[in-house]
């Protein structure tokens, strides 16, 4: 039974905060996507122009930004799959909370795989 203490599916606790994080990560990814299509479009200008602009992605500041971007994408993707299960799987609504923690665990595992590899690429180890 829903109550102010336990919250409902979309109010309070994991249900609501995953929804908030889904919106924020989605907005962020969309804005990056617009910029990313524009920077890729520079291949039509000249190899020099493209290499010049894409070179910024290899700097330390952008490299750390890429960690945030990949983190946002992974969360949005995993939580999106959880949402699909909430909507289409008969057990989904009852299990949404444990599925949220499943999302967190898979996210941590994937980030733990990506982060060292990305830092090695960036700092040339």
Partner 1 sequence: MSTTSIPDPSTRYRRTAQRGINSEMLSWLFMRASGMLLVILVFGHLFVNLWLGEGVKGIDFAFVGGKWASPFWQVWDLLMLWLGLLHGGNGVRTIINDYARGDRLRMILKGLLYFAVIVTIILGTLVIFTFDPCPVGAEPSLLPSFCEG
Site residues (vs partner 1, CB under 8 A): 1-2, 8, 23, 26-27, 29-30, 33-34, 37-38, 40-41, 43-44, 46-48, 50-51, 54, 57-58, 63, 66, 70, 73, 77, 80-81, 83-84, 87-88, 114, 117-118, 120-122, 124
| Cβ proximity to partner 1, 40 vs 94, nearer residue | 40
CB of 104 to partner 1, least distance (A): 17
Helix, strand, coil proportions of the chain in percent (round to 5)?
85, 5, 15
- Exposure string over 23-61, b if 16+ CB within 10 A, otherwise e: eebbebbeebeeeeeeeeebeeeeeeebeeeeeeeeeee
Rounded to 5 degrees, φ, ψ at 78 are -65, -45
Shortest Cβ distance from residue 112 to partner 1 (Å)? 13
Least distance from partner 1 to the Cβ atom of residue 29, Å = 7
């Amino acid at each position: 039974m829903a109550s102010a203490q336990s919250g409902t599916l979309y109010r309070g606790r994991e249900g609501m905060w995953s929804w908030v994080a889904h919106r924020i990560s989605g907005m962020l990814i969309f804005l990056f996507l617009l910029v990313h299509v524009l920077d890729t479009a520079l291949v039509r200008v000249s190899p020099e122009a493209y290499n010049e602009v894409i070179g910024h992605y290899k700097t330390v500041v952008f490299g750390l930004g890429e960690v945030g971007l990949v983190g946002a994408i992974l969360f949005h993707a995993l939580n999106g799959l959880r949402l699909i299960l909430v909507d289409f799987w008969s057990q989904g609504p009852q299990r949404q909370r444990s599925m949220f923690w499943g999302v967190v665990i898979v996210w941590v595992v994937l980030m733990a795989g990506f982060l060292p590899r990305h830092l090695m690429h960036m700092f040339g180890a």
